[in-house]
Amino acid sequence: MAKPFLKWAGGKTALLPQLLDAAPERIGTYYEPFLGGGALFFALQAEGRFARAVLSDSNRELINAYTQVRDNVDGLVRALQVHQRKYRAADDRAEYYYTIRGKRLTCDLGGAANLIFLNKTCYNGLYRVNSKGRFNVPHGRYKNPTICDEDNLRAVSEALKGVELSVADFAAAPAPAAEGDFVYFDPPYVPVSETSYFTSYTAKDFGMADQERLAAAAARLVQRGSSVVLSNSGHPNVAAIYQGECFDLTHVQARRNINSNSTERGVVREYLITSD
């Protein structure tokens, strides 16, 4: 079974049992507009639940990495093996890391290899960019990170065959969804505290106006007959946005390992939001 090849803040591997229960057993087209690590996609694909999949994100470098895995896995494996060999042999691993981090992430094979390398060796596997869109996470100092997981990359490449990948707005990508289709939204969460505030997956933060636009887009999909599931934090503002609409809100417990304050990592309460 293919599994996420990138570690992503807010990844859903730990919540897969609840998400799989909430997803329809039979799906025409599966849409995931905030792709991230893609844990639910890989789980649904392994179970053969959908006939077609449309995966998208506003992060160009992320979609490029998926595209390169799908279309050029041999070249990507070779490039990552070079990174792995050089990094492990380096006298100063941090220097090698910052040399790669200093390069602008490009939407080609080299850019995908650099992104995966940085993801495997940066602090806590975090993807974060500054206001100029430059990757700015410090070195992670892992003892012996697996930079090239060839077996999983090849499994992911097979899982992505025939899948549509695009850089798109979260509302535009699933707009064609109709009855029998399923849309899963996993946006940057409404922050529950200052130290948990993290929306910098792209140069533009994801604020409350975006959260409200997302809720409106999800409601339109439900009205057209699509099944919709959303994840978000357990913040009261989330309940205010979705209560009174065509959704049910359920609290779930999730383990979160990315926070600038280590005392606030661990099990947190989130909302699982499902269409009626």
What would the pLDDT profile of 92-110 be if each residue is shown by its tens digit?
999 999 999 999 999 999 9
Contact 16, 3 (CB under 8 A): no
User: What is the DSSP pairing of strand 227-233 with strand 27-32?
Assistant: unpaired
Last residue of one domain, picked from the residues 74, 100, 135: 135
* Neighbour order of strands in the sheet with 247-256: 164-167, 50-57, 27-32, 182-185, 227-233, 266-275, 247-256
**Residue 264 sits in the same domain as residue 210:** yes
**Residue 232 sits in the same domain as residue 176:** yes
**Residue 167 sits in the same domain as residue 267:** yes
Is pLDDT at 4 greater than 60 in this prediction?
yes
Is pLDDT at 90 greater than 80 in this prediction?
yes
Contact 170, 187 (CB under 8 A): yes
Separation of alpha carbons 181 and 160, rounded Å: 18
Separation of alpha carbons 45 and 258, rounded Å: 27
**Phi, psi angles (nearest 5°) of residue 12:** -105, 15
Residue 107 lies in a domain: yes
**pLDDT, tens only, 138-185:** 999 888 999 999 999 999 999 999 999 999 999 999 999 999 999 999
**Residue 55 sits in the same domain as residue 121:** no
pLDDT at 256: 61
pLDDT at 261: 47
Dump strand ranges (E) for the chain.
Answer: 27-32, 50-57, 164-167, 182-185, 227-233, 247-256, 266-275
Residue 129 lies in a domain: yes
- Total structural domains within the chain: 2
**Residue 207 sits in the same domain as residue 244:** yes
Residue 4 lies in a domain: no
Looking at residues 235-239, what average pLDDT do you find?
A: 94
Residue 140 lies in a domain: no
**Residue 184 sits in the same domain as residue 204:** yes
- Give start and end residues of each alpha helix (H) in 72-139: 73-89, 93-101, 109-121
Residue 144 lies in a domain: no
Is pLDDT at 264 greater than 90 in this prediction?
no
Residue 242 belongs to domain with CATH number: 3.40.50.150
pLDDT at 9: 85
**Residue 162 sits in the same domain as residue 261:** yes
Residue 230 lies in a domain: yes
**Residue 222 sits in the same domain as residue 166:** yes
**Residue 214 sits in the same domain as residue 124:** no
**Residue 189 sits in the same domain as residue 267:** yes
Domain extent for 103:
66-135
**Residue 215 sits in the same domain as residue 168:** yes
Which amino acid type is present at position 211?
Q
Residue 152 lies in a domain: no
pLDDT at 204: 63
pLDDT at 5: 97
Of 8, 14, 209, 38, which is closest to residue 116 (Cα–Cα)? 8
pTM for the full predicted model: 0.91
The single residue listed with the structure tokens 């025939």 is 162
**pLDDT, tens only, 202-235:** 446 789 999 999 999 999 999 999 999 999 999 9
Which band of pLDDT confidence, cut at 50, 70 and 90, is reported for residue 192?
A: confident
**Residue 101 sits in the same domain as residue 222:** no
Looking at residues 122-130, what average pLDDT do you find?
A: 89
The single residue listed with the structure tokens 């549509």 is 164
Tokens at 224, concatenated: 């057209």
pLDDT at 139: 96
Dihedral sign, CA of 187, 2, 269, 276?
positive
- The residues, any chain, with a CB within 8 Å of residue 77's CB and separated by 6 or more, are 148, 150, 153, 154
pLDDT at 263: 46
pLDDT at 11: 85
Residue 110 lies in a domain: yes
